Amino acid sequence: MSELSINPGIEIRDSERELDRFRRRLATLGFFVLTLFGLLFLRFFYLQVIQHSHYSTLAEANRISVLPIAPHRGIIVDRNGVMLAHNYSAYTLEITPSKLQSLEETIDGLSGIIEITPRDRRRFRKLLEESKSFESLPIRTRLSDEEIARFAVHRYRFPGVEAKARLFRQYPQGEMFSHVVGHIGRINKREVEQLEDDGRLANYRGSDYIGKTGVEQSYEKFLHGTTGVEEVEVDSGGRAVRTLSRTPPVSGNNLVLNLDAKLQEVAYNAFGDRRGALVAIDPATGGILAFVSKPGFDPNLFVDGIDPQSWSELNGSPDKPLLNRASAGTYPPGSTFKPFMALAALFYGKRTPQQVISDPGYFMFGGHRFRDSRPVPLGMVDMYRSIVMSSDVYYYMLASELGIDPLAQFMALFGFGSRTGIDISGEAAGILPSTDWKWRRYKQKWYAGETISVGIGQGYNSYTPLQLASATATVANNGVMFRPHIVNHVEDIRTREKTLIESQPLRELAIKPEHFKVVRDAMAGVNKEGTGARVFANAPYTSAGKTGTAQVIAIKQGEKYVESRVAEEHRDHSLFIVYAPADKPTIALAVIAENAGFGARAAAPVARQVLDYYLLGKLPAVTGGKR
Amino acid sequence: MPFMLRRLYRFITGHIDGILLCGILLLMFTGLLVLLSASNGSYVRVSGQLMNMLVALGVMWLFANIPPHYLMRLALPLFITGCALLVGVALFGDVVNGARRWLHVGVTRIQPSELMKIALPLMLAWYFNRNEASLKLRNYLIAALLLVIPVALIARQPDLGTALLITAGGCYVIFLAGLSWRVISTLFVAGLASLPFLWPALHDYQRQRILTLLDPSGDPLGTGYHTIQSTIAVGSGGLLGKGWMNGTQTHLDFIPERTTDFIFAVYAEEFGLLGNVVLLLLLLFVIGRAMVITANAPTLFARLLAGAITLTFFTYAFVNIGMVSGILPVVGVPLPLISYGGTSLVSICLGFGILMSINTHKKLVQT
């Protein structure tokens, strides 16, 4: 090393010292290297030994995603297999807001390739407010194949937007069944809480929809099915790479209704432009054959969240299409109450069928003159004539003699004033007036004078068409009462096993058959020679009915009700109850046509068309009535 | 014939250090193995990397055969060219990803900061060697100035990672040249004191990276994502690893840049603590051999250059592994000899070539 130096002695020493110092410095750096590598080792030890299980869990959580597989919702068919609610597969365009930079820009961008209406935007905005931002929400539903193709081409431009093939619920019968079949809709926060309380929330992971109204809601447990689970390995983009395990979902059960879709259609159309409700029941089973509330609405609007404009149109309409008139609307029964009053008279022994009273056209009570609605007094009236000709005076007197509380106790037997327990929710109880009821409701005592108008189905009386139909069916069935039910049976789609709904009678009323016979004969007389005779003229079957007219506003004493002078929404409601055939009834029904005047004029023709179809298979030549 | 073969053998291996080559080849083999897994079993990248390695080994052989004193002559021109190019970048450079790092030269683009990685230690070694007889504080100050000029230019691009690495390389030279401990400790204290003033001078993204290191979960989908996912990969590897080609973090795409800067995460996930220890030992083996060569280098120039190369290699390895395992901020530093990429391979092997040259040209210098 030193050979090159001129002055070896000094240079060597100097160079040796230099080299020594250099090597010490190098050793220092070597120590530095070892220290830092030691640090790395400690870090590895910490991560890979001490914290290993933690990071292992994180890696697994990264890797495995448990995906729920929503089951197919059961379908709903009528008694003949006509489809009322089914599923079909289509594409939706869904946005996950949390994955987006700008929601507005994305939607604007999408609208460049796929039609997105202002209505879609409004609907989306409403959904957005109701949900969490990491949920994927549909901006457009039911995309055409062409639209899907166009989106697929531009897909890369829209991270966070996905086209998904999904099953859609559809109600092919539209507004006719809106109140009875009901509809599903996106699960809201309240329903999530409810599901959580019931311990059913786990089964709804992966479900976006839940039954909201009608049998869709009340049979939710049967329709929904059991959610399946798929464990998949996902990559960092969340895409499934492969399936690790899979528990298939179990489809929901199908519902077969008692309803007859064609009958429902005949009934719905028979109302024409009128608002109203009709409930038809098979008296032998309590099965609901038709359940009409008119106007209805298109339930398909609600499935993916209704847009605010359509909602306010429906909600603000004076025709109240969202009100289920058949089971949540209550009306005074009017004269249709009279057959039940007659039964009460016989039950309590206040009248014999032959007992005759004099009808002068009015009834005086406590200085108040209760008028009969007919212009000409009936004269001598027995029970048969009281029903056939619909005498008010007969029932004014009877009610007055019976007293409100015995009357109420008897009417309660027929289900008046209490919920029938029909298998859809939202049922109204109605009002069966009694001293007790008035005290609870108004903290006032009952005045005897108030009993009088109750006798002709006016006053505080207020019942749902469903209650009226159920009571009529009970008369038709000689006192054997069933709980009205819409669903006939639930069908397990795998085992084909059928579970019948409500096959047992609810109760049997302790009313003598001969008493029923008197009233039934009188009701048959109504359609033969009484107030319903004209409408049922030439019917090839026998039927037993009763017309009714329910006042909407009170008429002052001494004044006369003139229809043309009264605003339409204050005109009388037209009611009709009937069962047929009279001797061996297979159908019992109640009709109300709102603000349509005398029962024989509007409600009875609806009933005639329904019976003609049900008993004869005859379709009405001209549908619809006049206002 | 045997004589000719022996001569050929001598010609090829004459300036190759067998021990160092052994370590390098082992690391390269490991790199290929991990790369195969990181690229999901695709041989395209692996064969590309194999080509890179052959080229790098060729460059290594070439530099092993260049006597150190030739390099000494290259030091000043190379440094001046480097600085000129850096100024060129600052004036005419292309902006890529918000940083001005590339310069168009005829048909291709170059990143002059890469050149500086070798030019600066060379320059400093040459400078100290020239003034070997009488090293004063003044010389160290001039050396510091030589260091600061390119570093400032690179930091301005901005490329803080490279700037810091070049600074480290320069500092190693100055340290090895014998800067007194008193000055070192004074500078250290001054450096610590100036930290609060440096903070505002940093770019937003640089500050973000440092903050992310302190708390990666603060921005799990942004800058923290790399660190979180690579830490999970390392941690979930455990003692023995998930097995080659079986890393879930790797194969499900959770590790970003997994063939390049973050390839260590793949390795650690699949080979575990045991594999990590083996890799550290392998790196130590290479560093150790390089240090032995450094310690035995004949001239100050050779010693300083060898030391700088050795410790730069170490620094790259440490910074990369530290970054992947979450103790250092994310800077774009590949894991030497393992990460995919030709540039890094060639420059690392070039350094090793110089080391081998220094080791095998001693006798020539002596005679």
pLDDT tens digits for A444-499?
A: 999 988 999 899 998 899 999 999 999 999 999 999 999 999 999 999 888 888 88
Residue A216: what pLDDT?
Answer: 94
Residue A589: what pLDDT?
Answer: 94
CB pair distance less than 8 Å for A52 and B287: no
Is the same domain home to A179 and A308?
no
Is the same domain home to A525 and A494?
yes
Residue A487: what pLDDT?
Answer: 93
pLDDT exceeds cutoff 80 at B362 = no
Total-model pTM: 0.64
Q: Decide if A494 is inside a domain.
A: yes
Residues of the domain holding B176: 18-366
How far is it, in rounded angstroms, from Cα B97 to Cα A367?
Answer: 99
Which B residues in the span 11-30 are in contact with A, Cβ-Cβ below 8 Å?
none
The mean pLDDT value of chain B amounts to 86
Q: Decide if B259 is inside a domain.
A: yes
CB of A181 closer than 8 Å to CB of A76: yes
Residue A466: what pLDDT?
Answer: 95
Q: Which tokens hold the place of B18?
A: 């067998």
Q: Decide if A58 is inside a domain.
A: no
**Which residue of A55, A98, A100, A232 to mutate against B (max B Cβ within 10 Å)?**
A55
**Which residue of A29, A42, A57 to mutate against B (max B Cβ within 10 Å)?**
A29
Q: Decide if A111 is inside a domain.
A: yes
Q: Decide if B4 is inside a domain.
A: no
Tell me how close the Cα of A160 comes to any Cα of chain B, in angstroms. Answer: 15
Tell me the mean pLDDT in the region A113-125: 85
Q: Decide if B7 is inside a domain.
A: no
How far is it, in rounded angstroms, from Cα A61 to Cα A197?
Answer: 28
Is the same domain home to A240 and A275?
no
Q: In the Cβ-directed half-sphere of A487, how many Cα atoms lie within 13 Å?
A: 27
Is the same domain home to A241 and A275?
no
pLDDT exceeds cutoff 60 at B71 = yes
- Nearest alpha-carbon partner for A281 in A618, A590, A605: A590
Is the same domain home to A330 and A463?
yes
Q: A61 in the Ramachandran plot: left (φ > 0), alpha (ψ -120 to 50) or beta?
A: alpha
Is the same domain home to A284 and A428?
yes
Which residues from chain B sit within 8 angstroms of residue A49, using beta carbons? 238-239, 273
Residue B1: what pLDDT?
Answer: 65
The domain that holds A155 is classified in CATH as 3.90.1310.10
Q: Decide if A624 is inside a domain.
A: no
pLDDT tens digits for B45-54?
A: 899 999 999 9
Residues of the domain holding A110: 65-257
pLDDT exceeds cutoff 70 at A237 = no
pLDDT tens digits for B204-220?
A: 777 777 776 666 665 55
Q: Decide if B270 is inside a domain.
A: yes
A564 is catalytic: no
The mean pLDDT value of chain A amounts to 86
A1 touches chain B (CB under 8 A): yes
pLDDT tens digits for B289-339?
A: 999 999 999 888 999 999 999 999 999 999 999 999 988 888 878 899 999
**Cβ-based contacts under 8 A for chains A and B:** 126
Return the higher-pLDDT residue of A422 and A234: A422
CB pair distance less than 8 Å for B235 and A39: no
Q: Please provide the DSSP assignment of A529-572 as one string.
A: HSTTTTTTTT-SS--EEEEEEE-SSPPPTT----GGGS-GGGSP
Q: Which tokens hold the place of A446?
A: 């009952």
pLDDT exceeds cutoff 70 at A318 = yes
pLDDT exceeds cutoff 50 at A5 = no
Q: Decide if A82 is inside a domain.
A: yes
Domain count, chain A: 3
CB pair distance less than 8 Å for A30 and B291: yes
Tell me how close the Cα of A116 comes to any Cα of chain B, in angstroms. Answer: 31
Output phi, psi for A579, to 5 deg.
-140, 155
Residues 6+ apart with CB under 8 A from B285: B23
The domain that holds A424 is classified in CATH as 3.40.710.10
Is the same domain home to A13 and A127?
no
Closest residue of B to A235, CA-based?
B252
Q: Decide if B294 is inside a domain.
A: yes
A159 touches chain B (CB under 8 A): no
Q: Decide if B13 is inside a domain.
A: no
Q: Decide if A295 is inside a domain.
A: yes
* Kind and range of the H or E run holding B124: helix B112-130
Is the same domain home to A243 and A325?
no
CB of B156 closer than 8 Å to CB of B108: no
Residue B3: what pLDDT?
Answer: 84
Q: Decide if A625 is inside a domain.
A: no
Tell me how close the Cα of A191 comes to any Cα of chain B, in angstroms. Answer: 32
CB pair distance less than 8 Å for B235 and A25: no
Which residues from chain A sit within 8 angstroms of residue B132, using beta carbons? 18
CB pair distance less than 8 Å for A25 and B298: no
Which residues from chain B sit within 8 angstroms of residue A51, using beta carbons? 235
pLDDT tens digits for B340-354?
A: 988 889 989 999 999
Which residues from chain A sit within 8 angstroms of residue B169, using beta carbons? none
pLDDT exceeds cutoff 70 at A273 = yes
Closest residue of B to A3, CA-based?
B366
pLDDT tens digits for A347-397?
A: 999 999 999 998 888 888 888 888 887 778 888 899 999 999 999 999 999
Q: In the Cβ-directed half-sphere of B66, how many Cα atoms lie within 13 Å?
A: 20
Is the same domain home to A340 and A444?
yes
Is the same domain home to A175 and A320?
no
Which B residues in the span 294-333 are in contact with A, Cβ-Cβ below 8 Å?
294-295, 298, 300, 303, 307, 311, 314, 318, 321-322, 325-327
pLDDT tens digits for A495-527?
A: 888 888 877 888 899 899 999 999 999 999 999
pLDDT exceeds cutoff 50 at A575 = yes
CB of A552 closer than 8 Å to CB of A573: yes
CB of B102 closer than 8 Å to CB of B111: yes
pLDDT tens digits for B187-209?
A: 889 888 888 877 777 777 777 77
* Kind and range of the H or E run holding A163: strand A161-170
B252 touches chain A (CB under 8 A): yes
pLDDT exceeds cutoff 70 at A238 = no
Tell me how close the Cα of A100 comes to any Cα of chain B, in angstroms. Answer: 13
Angle at B24 between CA B21 and CA B26, to 5 degrees: 110
| Widest CA span in chain B | 70
Tell me the mean pLDDT in the region A579-591: 93
Q: Which tokens hold the place of B1?
A: 């014939």
Tell me the mean pLDDT in the region B145-161: 86
CB pair distance less than 8 Å for B298 and A1: yes
pLDDT exceeds cutoff 70 at B40 = yes
Domain count, chain B: 1
Give B50-55 contacts, CB < 8 A, sequence gap 24+. Answer: B52/B341, B52/B342, B52/B345, B52/B346, B53/B28, B53/B345, B55/B342, B55/B345, B55/B346
From the list A335, A400, A434, A462, the catalytic residue is: A335
Residue A10: what pLDDT?
Answer: 46
Cis peptide before B329 (omega within 30 of 0): no
Return the higher-pLDDT residue of A306 and A51: A51
Is the same domain home to A78 and A14?
no
Which B residues in the span 118-177 are in contact with A, Cβ-Cβ below 8 Å?
132, 172, 175-176
Residue A559: what pLDDT?
Answer: 62
How far is it, in rounded angstroms, from Cα A549 to Cα A332?
Answer: 9
pLDDT bucket at B80, cuts 50 / 70 / 90:
very high
Q: 3-class DSSP state for residue A11?
A: helix
pLDDT bucket at B106, cuts 50 / 70 / 90:
low
How far is it, in rounded angstroms, from Cα B14 to Cα A277?
Answer: 107
CB pair distance less than 8 Å for B300 and A18: yes
Which A residues in the span 239-268 are in contact with B, Cβ-Cβ below 8 Å?
241
User: From the list B235, B307, B327, which residue is nearest A48 (CB)?
Assistant: B235
Is the same domain home to A550 and A610?
yes
How far is it, in rounded angstroms, from Cα B52 to Cα B260?
Answer: 14
Q: Decide if B298 is inside a domain.
A: yes
